[in-house]
């Protein structure tokens, strides 16, 4: 990125932190990725929108991320601006109604609502993502999904801010209409139920214990690497294909849960992609099932 353009962007908006040549390995849960020419952390929706406008006016390539989960970033980095929503994380409660900004961590949102005696978001406590990404992909776990609690979302679409109902978001398994129309979540309005604080906190503790027992939380990963196929489960199919524990470079099919590809400390994006190809090819040969990535590729590939 040219220095003059970078200087213009960094002077285009207040309430925003900028870092040049930021390693994306430090900004993603996979702990993989080269440097972004400019990493931007707007603190308000107004600063976020102003930054997007400045990128468009200057012709600067840009991409938007949340807290870096469900993301595999290129070893080559990104010669443009990476805009993170993580600092836009305000949560407000009004009875059983909750408004959460796009950057709010799901784990924090789940804890805050449970502490307030509201039930319905316990499932989300262990999902390492943000509200915006969770709405975008209808995140879910342990029988719960965002579609069960989202009432509406405030989105940026075509330069305009719109309020979109849950019905118009057309939620399905790991899908929302935002994946087709390019809408960007600014905040979400959720409708929860009056519950029991102690029961909700106990459920969160139970689900967290189950995750620790079954998932490789001690390694860098992007969560479940493959979408659930129509027949069976990705982890079971990978294990049946004899690939549990398989390695390519520093990337490994987790010995704890074959549905995860983990970073053993020095994995590259290329390692992960080569291991992905091995898994997809072998599972297809063994079971006839085509696995599809759930993790999103990002950066200059």
Distance CA 292, CA 286 (A): 16
In whole angstroms, give the CA distance from residue 80 to residue 59: 10
Contact predicate 99/91, CB 8 Å: yes
Catalytic residue among 27, 31, 154, 174: 174
Q: How far apart are CA 241 and CA 204, in angstroms?
A: 33
Residue in 151, 239, 240, 294 annotated catalytic = 294
Return the DSSP state at 112: H
**What does DSSP say about strands 62-65 and 91-94: parallel, antiparallel, or unpaired?**
unpaired
Active site residue 174: yes
Is there a catalytic annotation at residue 31? Answer: no
Angle between helices 197-214 and 106-115 (to 10 degrees): 150
Q: Are the C-beta atoms of 124 and 106 separated by less than 8 Å?
A: yes
> Considering only CA atoms, which of 78, 83, 85, 80 is closest in space to residue 35?
78
d(CA 268, CA 264): 10
CA-CA-CA-CA torsion sign (142, 225, 189, 67): positive
How big is the chain, counted in residues? 301
224 is catalytic: yes
Around Cβ 230, how many Cβ atoms within 10 Å? 7
Q: Per the residue annotation, which of 69, 107, 224, 254 is the catalytic one? A: 224
Report helix angle 45-58 to 3-10, nearest 10.
150
Which DSSP string do the residues of 205-218 spell out, in sequence order? HHHHHHHHHHS-TT
Phi-psi region of 68 (alpha: psi -120 to 50; beta: other; left: phi over 0): left
The catalytic site residues sit at 174, 224, 294
């Amino acid at each position: 990125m040219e220095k003059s353009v970078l200087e213009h962007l960094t002077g285009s908006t207040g309430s925003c932190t900028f870092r040049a040549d930021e390693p994306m390995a430090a900004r993603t849960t996979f702990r993989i990725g080269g440097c972004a020419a400019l990493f931007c952390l707007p603190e308000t929706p107004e600063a976020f929108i102003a930054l997007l406008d400045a990128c468009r006016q200057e012709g600067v390539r840009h991409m938007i991320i949340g807290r870096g989960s469900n993301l595999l970033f290129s070893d080559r980095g990104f010669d443009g601006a990476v805009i993170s929503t993580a600092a836009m994380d305000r949560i407000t409660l009004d009875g059983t109604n909750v408004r959460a900004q796009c950057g709010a961590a799901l784990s924090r949102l789940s804890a805050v609502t449970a502490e307030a005696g509201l039930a319905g978001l316990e499932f989300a406590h262990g999902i390492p993502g943000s509200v915006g990404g969770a709405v975008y992909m209808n995140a879910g776990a342990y029988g719960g999904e965002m579609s069960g609690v989202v009432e509406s979302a405030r989105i940026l679409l075509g330069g305009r801010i719109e309020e979109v109902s849950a019905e118009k978001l057309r939620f399905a398994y790991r899908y929302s209409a935002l994946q087709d129309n390019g809408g960007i979540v600014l905040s979400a309005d959720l409708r929860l139920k009056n519950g029991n604080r102690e029961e909700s906190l106990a459920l969160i503790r139970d689900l967290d214990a189950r995750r620790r027992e079954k998932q490789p939380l001690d390694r860098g990963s992007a969560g479940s690497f493959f979408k659930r196929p129509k027949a069976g489960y990705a982890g079971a199919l990978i294990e049946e294909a004899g690939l549990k524990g398989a390695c390519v470079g520093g990337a490994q099919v987790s010995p704890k849960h074959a549905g995860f590809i983990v970073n053993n400390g020095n994995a590259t994006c290329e390692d992960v992609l080569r291991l992905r190809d091995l898994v997809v090819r072998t599972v297809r040969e063994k079971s006839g099932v085509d696995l599809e990535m759930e993790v999103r590729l990002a950066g200059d590939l």
